[in-house]
Structure 1
């Protein structure tokens, strides 16, 4: 029953997946509410704030208000003021409250320990073989070094840090496609990351690494769809959480039927798509994809030279997204593994920890693959 745990970090969300190594089945982990309060007690102020995942993200979009204000802990007035001040100045943590500094590292430590404890409660600490951290291609080295430092600080030694670009290619069984250009699009609940990459073999460790040729980061995600559906069904007085439930149901079903607040609701996937078209989501996504193609052309990468468009992310399951992507990219689009964790499917993913990888609390040299390469 050994579990391989993968953790994806976004600006205001964390996605966790578990791979059962005996059955090769991947499942999403419901972390529920993992925020713990930090009390800032100084001569000038005594405040309690609730760290959110945005505090441990290193991308330059972290200050976008849309991505952080959606977390329910913003019902806490101190947390809201803290992040509002942070957003207004368009800057990263650390921030100073009164005469006390709270750093992103401090917030990350509290969050990560809480996440690990929650996962151990679910599966049992003895059943977890390794934690895997897929890292975005942008800023990979900085992020990887930070995660490694953090894991050592909290005493987590059974972990691997993987290159998200390499990871995406291996997930689709394309590890042999070295040197070819491809696009990697990751749909998060509130943001969209688009990368133009190629994977190369290196003489140094790790032997496979993605080369970032260009990229875009946009606010765009399922949380907006949930809000739009809530507003559309205002007569039923539903919450954003209920709207998300309806959208999730329509992923695999054509209609949603339920009595809500004494009223019978009948809502179809077609109605949802019509709503999204009316709100302009489809055109917005097409414009973003066109910007990606323009970016590629600007750096000398033609669409014809792009071999694959690989998609991943939690909100890509929504058929509305998939249909637009299929129409735009055609046969080059691969998305069937979008909602699974590609990192958890591959034990041969290159590690960011250099020549040595950490497994079961012990150092071991990287093992050669079938071609004799040490990954």
Structure 2
């Protein structure tokens, strides 16, 4: 694995903590949780006890107040063991919506519980008919007295079945486009009119309880509006999407390395025609290509992390990290599965899980086609 330039001594020490946690608390249960289609709350709470969930949450809100590098370490370590089912990334993005845009009262109300793992968060953006077009959402939140009345439906919601908190993207002004979008926090426990639909049967990411969510005359206090002003939701989303897309690039790096490592183990042991699979020239060339792509992706992510620190990371650069990382991941995993031969198609081999999990990387967080459009717009000085 390339040594990321952004990782210093304290990050490596933190990585050791995260790695031990995953080895002790995740790996023994990965098959059971895959069959169950969800990860128990107790696992989240153990992650909270170790400070993993609250690494970048302010100290006065129950966290450690560290830089986003420490969250990046967790994404990388999770991906390196070949998992994308634990919905930590979405939970983490939700915390950053609060740390960046919420009032002090809202931060104190929700962040300590998110840091401890007592409350798991989801983000409800996508709707059955809107896909990547966030300005076209039809879920509404209409004022009535001191409450919002919410109606609508969301789909493909990571952590949707187990979420205690949902950052909801809704129209507080249905007649407006982007200017009518707001973010509203939904506390799901015993909430009248809120319903979790079916757990979606996905090709990959089997451990995550991805679900449909339904809102029928759901009432929440107006104090659940994230921030102080309606109509800021689209701007809030756009400001945080670069971090989400950088997360996907980092996860792609870890998953690519996992695919290479597990394939190296396989081709060194497996024999065909009297020699190791590793000894065939085609195998060696394919693995050389994969190792080179991983190094290039790592170097680019180093640059992105440096720009994140300097607050110069642009949406276009983050879009590059997302599409290039996910494309590279899919290419590497596909080649590595091929080197496993028929065994690569068997679910008992890790490469099969890496393959089915990888494909959605090019879709969520904004499709790769949308990423290319964002990049292209930045190249045209007239737009």
Structure with greater proportional strand content = 1
TM-score norm. by structure 2 comes to 0.25
